[in-house]
Amino acid sequence: MKRVIISGGGTGGHIYPAIAIASALKEIDPQIEFLFVGAEGKMEMEKVPKAGFNIIGLPIVGINRAHLLKNLLFPVKLAKSLRKAFQILADFKPDVAIGVGGYASGPMLLAAWAKGIPFYIQEQNSYAGITNKALSSKAKQIFVAYPGMEKFFSPSKLILSGNPVRKDLIDISGKKAAAAQLFGLAANKPTILIIGGSQGARSINHAILHGLETLANSDVQIVWQTGVSFESEAKAACATFPTLPSYVSAFIYEMDLAYAMADLVVSRAGALSVSEICLAGKPSILVPFPNAAEDHQTENAKSLVQENAAILVQDVLAKENLVPTALKTLADKPLLSTLAENSFGMGKPKAAQEIAETILKNSTCA
């Protein structure tokens, strides 16, 4: 039987592309057997099984840049993870491995290389991660989402595929009525979708909270994904402004309907969020998380801003500027149209399919 290992994780930005690639491979060849390898205690250990795939966790941890003393156990956990990775390869006997970034992919891909198992890398961001950069010379090919990645990887290995995303996001046309019904909102009222990634976004949440009265005095409604820790506070605050129609939830599973509902998206600039916004063809205001590794979210946001496909609001200025900028943008119909058109032009709806087809064509598991 054909076997594929997919390694990586830590955030939704790594996990959902991995699941999308596996789903595309399975669609082409239902006989492929998959095993995911992630980091113990991270969200992939929950999300991957929910998607119908098996996963094994490694004890690996990331390097703590802020507190160097916390890295004292890193060599020990790396050694344990490498031993476990070699055991996984011996037990599962994969034909090919795919790394989607994050420190969890490091030991697995290194072990695969040592055993002569070909592997591929998928880099979601416009600024390459440490693990992917370190292993790129050993990879068979590298799938990227942004142009200009030659500054990180060998040009001969690059394939500009875009980021794989959930299939239901590729076509959201005709879903507005269903979205309005799900969220309990009006289908014809200007709607701002506020998302902060799988864990919520503190500065975005506080900026919206700060601007709730302004929003309530405007002819708009909001769909607000808060993250678990902010949900109750956001719901309580919205309840004090009955003139602001709102849907508030810690996590939104029906993201296709959330995008269908939105006239404007406010979001972090993680790779997955940016790719989803482009596929949905939505105008957006991006608030990059400034503490992301190598400040890659700012680079992701700039890639859209340079194409007049999004507006950037700095995290430090979000509390004062985010809501006024959102309302000003929402009122400017020509700008909304331009942002939407340019955003849609940057989307790559066949990313997962292209990656799957390339891997099957070039790998021994084909």
Q: Are 323 and 214 in contact (CB under 8 A)?
A: yes
Helix or strand run (H / E) with residue 264: strand 264-267
* Amino acid letter, residue 96: V
Separation of alpha carbons 262 and 343, rounded Å: 14
Question: How many C-alpha atoms does 133 have within 13 Å on its Cβ side?
Answer: 11
CA-nearest of 206, 196, 240 to 223 is 196
303 annotated as belonging to a binding site for a ligand? no
Q: Are 8 and 100 in contact (CB under 8 A)?
A: yes
> Which among 228, 239, 345, 241 is positioned nearest to 283, based on CA atoms?
345
Tell whether 338 is in a known binding site: no
39 labeled part of a ligand binding site: no
Tokens 């490498």 correspond to what residue? 82
Determine whether the annotation assigns residue 274 to a binding site: yes
Q: What's the CA gap between 319 and 140, in Å, rounded? A: 45
Asked whether residue 11 is marked as a ligand-binding residue, the answer is yes
- How many other CB atoms are there within 10 angstroms of residue 70's CB atom? 12
Looking up tokens 């394939």 gives: 159
- Please give the DSSP secondary-structure letter assigned to residue 313: -
40 assigned binding-site residue: no
Beta bridge partners of 99: 7, 121
Q: Which of 71, 43, 77, 39 is nearest to 58 (CA)?
A: 39
- Cα–Cα distance between 275 and 271 in angstroms, integer? 6
Is 13 annotated among the ligand-binding residues? yes
The reply, when asked if residue 232 is annotated as ligand binding, is: no
Q: Establish whether 8 is an annotated binding residue.
A: no
198 belongs to an annotated ligand binding site: yes
Q: Which residues are annotated as a binding site?
A: 11-13, 125, 166, 198, 252, 271-276, 297
Would you list which residues are annotated within the binding site for UDP-N-acetyl-alpha-D-glucosamine? 11-13, 125, 166, 198, 252, 271-276, 297
